[in-house]
Homo-oligomer: A and B are copies of this chain.
Amino acid sequence: MGKKIVIIGGVAAGPKAACRVKRLMADADVTMIDKDSLISYGGCGIPYYVSGDVSDESELRSTSYHALRDESFFEKTKGVNTLTSTRALSIDRKAKTVLVENLTTGTQNNVSYDALLLATGSSPITLPIPGSDADGVFTVSDLHKAISIKDRIAKGQVSKAVVIGGGAIGIEMAEALTDLWGVETSLIEYMDHLLPRTVSWTFATILEKHLKDNNVDVFTGEAAEEIVIADGKVCAVKTSERSLDADLVIMAAGVRPQSQLARDAGLLVSSSGAIVVNERMQSSDPDIYAAGDCIEVCHLVSGKRFHAPFGSMANKQGRVAADNMAGIPSTFRGGVGSFILKAFDLSVGSTGLSLEAALAEGFDADISLTSPSDRAHFFPTQEIIFLEMVFDRRTRRVLGLQGVGPMNDGLSARLDAAAVALCSGASIDDFGNIEMAYSPPFSSAIDGINAAAYVADNLCEKRMRQISMKMFCSYMEDPEIQPDWLVLDVRHVREAAPLVDHFGKSRWISLPYDEIRDRYEELPINKTLIIFCNAGSRSFEIQVFLDFVGRKNSLVLPGGFNVIHRMGTDWLPAG
């Protein structure tokens, strides 16, 4: 036998590394250890298993050719010794052994290694509130919990549920409970909007409206303060504002790296608890590698380390770790935090930094908000996609892209192209020239990603002055905050008229786009005009023209009516 490779962790990074290293060194003695009895499952698929889209949990543990990835599979097809229900207790780095305990028999023994991979994953954060350990409170952390959740629902034991946490997993679970099972579901987010730090308030508001339209009650800016128990089971969740009845509580408040084993072994661990590795996935002990949810990687925009607990990252890191254990100097440079989410009929996603994150990192950041068609606007299946491009005004570097679109792969196409560009430090100008494969059924001659960069260019060069969507909405709700503002609606009179009627000419006036050159002198000069159209592009043209004729008192509302409409604001009249 060749080199002895021991891998701790049997989901994502672990199995990937085990199989790769065995393919690279067929004579290696590879042992994979996991404390769980179920391994190598698609954890990201749990919400779809709970919803019923995936009918049986075994599908999450099966290959595309329907082989179940259990111990026997890894042994017989991959040649990997696989010890499940076996916990790694400690590492003796000097002796190069791992002390393991068989959780079924209680037997302990040492497993020796030439190279060791820690793929110990992450653990869900349980909020330190009363009742968080009650029967009926679940995290979405492993397949056993998922099976229990689905079992309770299927047995009719769940009519009301509360999901704590408005991140991706919380939203996916809320959809799973509501959509197929009809469970009355509430979603609580402590921060002031869903997907905090990942997308803007604007996009979170579109998402929130869509969830509400699909019967998920959403409460943002509310902390879960207590889980109320009756008859030994959960019966409600108390927030700072209300009490919500619940037979089931899903706690989706994030995860943290599992690194106790590494820490106990004296390996370098970051302040956030992640095992520190280099680009070759080597920990501070050159014979010990780490990959997956238990490490941090370099954020290729901010330059700082960040925790990216995605199955896709884990697999890549597992492969790089395997290469290096086999003597191939592969590297994993880092990532940009690409993320995408299905929420009923919407897709929501992000890559790189949001505006909020970019400002927190110290960038001179701004954002372009656009609402173009996702394909040629004359193509029958076209729909609006919403994009926000975050950029640094000083260097013209693009820092991130967020999007909301229909439930198809159109948003992925923009995010994936952007992610690659972000990794190479692309500028606004580079984004303007990104070559998106074009024909009318797929994209438009000026793709949304290019148009977003064009707007960013105009903002950066101060050719365009904008008002943020949030500020505009605040103003519409309370005009007193800016009594000298006035909306100039440049859309067709037919579109503008109901709003002029509704708000009155002191707040909303109409002057169509194609008449502005002849009639601009009718516009009041003592007001700041907020130029309003469907997407923002006509508004920008009008602003350029008004500037030219010396009327520099205007702001463009980026994204325009398309965004407002989808946000479902209270102040917008129906119809």
Instruction: Name the segment of A119-127, A245-253, A531-539 touching the other chain.
Output: A531-539
- Chain B residues with CB under 8 Å of A312's CB are 435-436, 438, 443, 445-447
List residues of chain B with CB within 8 A of the CB of A410: 409, 412
Instruction: State which residues 123-161 of A face B: CB under 8 Å.
Output: none
- Whether A378 touches B48, Cβ cut-off 8 Å, given contacts A409-B412, A438-B310, A442-B409, is yes
Contact with B along A425-442 (1 / 0, CB 8 A): 010010011111111111
What residues of chain B lie closer than 8 Å to A432, measured between beta carbons? 316, 319
Of A234-242, A333-341, A501-509, the one touching chain B: A333-341
The proximity string for A residues 414-425 relative to B, scoring 1 for CB distances below 8 Å and 0 otherwise, is 111101110110
Interface residue tally on A, bucketed by range: 35 or more
Q: State whether A439 and B44 are in contact (beta carbons under 8 Å apart), knowing that A315-B445, A316-B433, A409-B408 are contacts in the complex.
A: yes
Q: Chain B nearest CB: distance from A72 CB in Å?
A: 8
Which residues of chain B are near A64, meaning CB under 8 Å? 372-373, 377, 534-535
A423: contacting residue among B435, B463, B514, CB under 8 A: B435
A209 within 8 A of B: no
Q: Are B437 and A412 in contact (CB-based, < 8 A)? A: yes
CB within 8 Å of B: which of A361-382? 372-373, 376-380
B545 and A514 contacting across the interface, CB-CB below 8 Å: no
- State how many copies of this chain the complex holds: 2
Give Cα A487 to B336, complex, Å. 44
A163 within 8 A of B: no
A65 to B490, CA, bound (A): 11
Q: Which of A53-61, A109-117, A387-395, A471-479 contacts B (4 or more CB under 8 A)?
A: A53-61
Residues of B within 8 A of A319 (CB): 432, 454
Closest partner residue, chain B, to A311 (CB atom): B445
**A332 near B: Cβ within 8 Å?**
yes
Q: Is A42 an interface residue (CB 8 A)?
A: yes
Report if A193 contacts B (CB, 8 A): no
Is there contact, CB below 8 Å, between B440 and A45? yes
* Given A73-B514, A379-B48: A12 touches B445 (CB 8 Å cut-off): yes
Return chain B residues, CB-CB under 8 Å to A379: 45, 48, 53-54
Contact B79 A340 (CB under 8 A): no
Shortest Cβ distance from residue A325 to the other chain B in the assembled complex, whole angstroms: 16
A302 part of interface (Cβ distance < 8 Å): no
A101 to B: closest C-beta gap in Å:
29
Which residues between 501 and 541 of chain A lie within 8 Å of chain B, taking CB atoms? 513-518, 533-535, 538, 540-541
Residues of B within 8 A of A172 (CB): 439
Residues A338 and B437 in contact, CB atoms below 8 Å apart:
yes
Q: In the complex, what residues of B have CB within 8 A of residue A310's CB? A: 438
Partner of A517, one of B79, B332, B339, B437: B79
Chain B, residue nearest A414 (CB) = B416
Chain B residues in 8 Å Cβ range of A447: 312
How many angstroms from the CA of A198 to the CA of B310 in the assembled complex? 35
Q: Which residues of B contact A320 (CB under 8 A)?
A: 433
Which of these, B73, B417, B435, B446, contacts A336 with CB under 8 Å? Answer: B435
A89 at the interface (CB under 8 A from B): no
Pairwise interchain contact B380-A54, C-beta atoms closer than 8 A: yes
A24 CA to B380 CA in the complex, in Å? Answer: 33
Q: Is the CB of B419 within 8 A of A435?
A: yes
B23 touches A541 (CB 8 A): yes
Residue contact B77 to A513, C-beta cutoff 8 Å? yes
Query: 13 extra interchain contacts, Cβ-Cβ under 8 A, other than A172-B439, A347-B442, A416-B417?
Result: A42-B440, A53-B380, A78-B541, A311-B438, A312-B446, A315-B445, A320-B433, A342-B439, A412-B413, A412-B437, A417-B417, A417-B420, A419-B436
17 A-B pairs in the complex with CB atoms less than 8 angstroms apart: A16-B446, A42-B376, A44-B376, A53-B380, A77-B516, A312-B447, A333-B433, A336-B435, A338-B437, A339-B437, A340-B443, A342-B442, A409-B409, A416-B435, A416-B437, A417-B419, A424-B424
Q: Which 5 A-B pairs have the closest CB atoms?
A: A26-B548, A409-B409, A340-B437, A312-B438, A416-B417
